[in-house]
Structure 1
Amino acid sequence: MLAAIWAQDEQGTIGKENRLPWHLPNDLKFFKQMTENNTIVMGRKTFEGMGSRPLPNRQTIVLTTDKEYHADGVLVYHTVSDVLDYAKTFSGITFIAGGSAVYENFLPHCDVLYRTVIHHSFEGDTKFPPVNWNDWTLINLSEGVQDEENSYAHQFETYQRKVSVD
């Protein structure tokens, strides 16, 4: 199964200089909970923005057009088709985890979307690509806990595609 997972502010901002423009431990915990023991796919800039190291207990795929690119502890793929072929044979969930162009390339193939909406506006240089929400059904919505560590109101949303993708 292929799923996208991301956090965004109210304007759809997802990044600034290849990093998250906010600190929200609840969302990091959610991301870890969802992706552990599965696969995450991200572009090279997103991977390098995370310190060029794979996250524990996950298979990381870095998608790049650079045929010479190498990073320790990750799989490096060069095409969307390569990732789709991997996802077909992987028994768990293959999560698309950024950046914007990677999301845009994989949205037509995703079965499920996991979106965290942060009820705030941040400065950023990267937005989530447009989604045709008519293709999706909201199947779960839960409010995140706002506290001294999580200073922004937020919610976790799960959407399922109305019609299955190939």
Structure 2
Amino acid sequence: MITLIAAVGKNNELGKDNQLLWHLPDDFKRFKSITSGHHIIMGRKTFESFPKPLPNRTHIIITKNKNYNAPEGCIVVHSLEAALDAVPENQNVFVIGGGEIYKQSISIADCLDITRVDGDFEADTFFPEIDSKKWKLTQSTFHDKDEKHSFAFTFETYHKI
């Protein structure tokens, strides 16, 4: 199964200047619990936004740079197709960004795990529109803002129709 996992603002904002637009500890915990033990596919810029590779996950990095030097244990490929080929058969895989990789992969995804952040943000990177004719919202869990979360947000799960 191919799952796209992202946190997005009201207008599908993902980030600006290769940085997240919010800090939501419960979203980080959810992301970790969902993706741990799996292969994660990302673009080079997304990978470089991390201080180091995320633990307990196999990183597949898509880059046009044929000489890209990634840390040991990371897999470097040059297309989405090659990234998917690098995942062992019958394994779940998570696409974690960025905007261009989401655009390339949304048509072949089986599931979308979205954290919908209740806010409008200035951004330069966006998640593709979720077409209600192709995707059905199957789960929605609201989380109000609190002392750890400056914004309310909703965990949403969509499955391809």
Alignment TM class, shorter chain as reference: over 0.9
The one-letter code matched in structure 2 to 1:42 is M
Written as runs of structure 1 = structure 2, the 5 A alignment for 1:1-166 is: 1-51=1-51, 53-72=52-71, 73-87=73-87, 89-162=88-161
Q: After superposition, give the CA deviation of every residue in 1:13-67 in whole Å (9 maximum; x if it has no partner).
A: 100111101111111111111100111111001111113x210011111111111
Identity, % of aligned positions: 39
CA distance in 1, matches of 2:118, 2:63: 32
Deviation at 1:92, TM superposition (A): 3.1
Number of equivalences: 160
Deviation at 1:131, TM superposition (A): 2.9
Match of 2:139, SS state, is strand
For normalisation by structure 2, the TM-score amounts to 0.94
Match of 2:81, SS state, is helix
Cα distance 1:135–1:147, how it changes in 2: closer, same or farther (>3 A)?
same
State whether residues 19 and 50 of structure 1, in contact with CA within 8 Å, keep that contact through their aligned partners in structure 2: no
Structure ranking higher in helix proportion: 1
CA distance in 2, matches of 1:69, 1:93: 26
Query: Pairwise CA RMSD of aligned residues?
Result: 1.3
The one-letter code matched in structure 2 to 1:31 is F
For normalisation by structure 1, the TM-score amounts to 0.91
* Greater CA drift, 136-145 or 36-45: 136-145
Structure ranking higher in strand proportion: 2
Deviation at 1:133, TM superposition (A): 2.4
CA distance in 1, matches of 2:130, 2:140: 18
Structure 2: 5+ residue stretches without partners = none
CA distance in 2, matches of 1:68, 1:133: 40
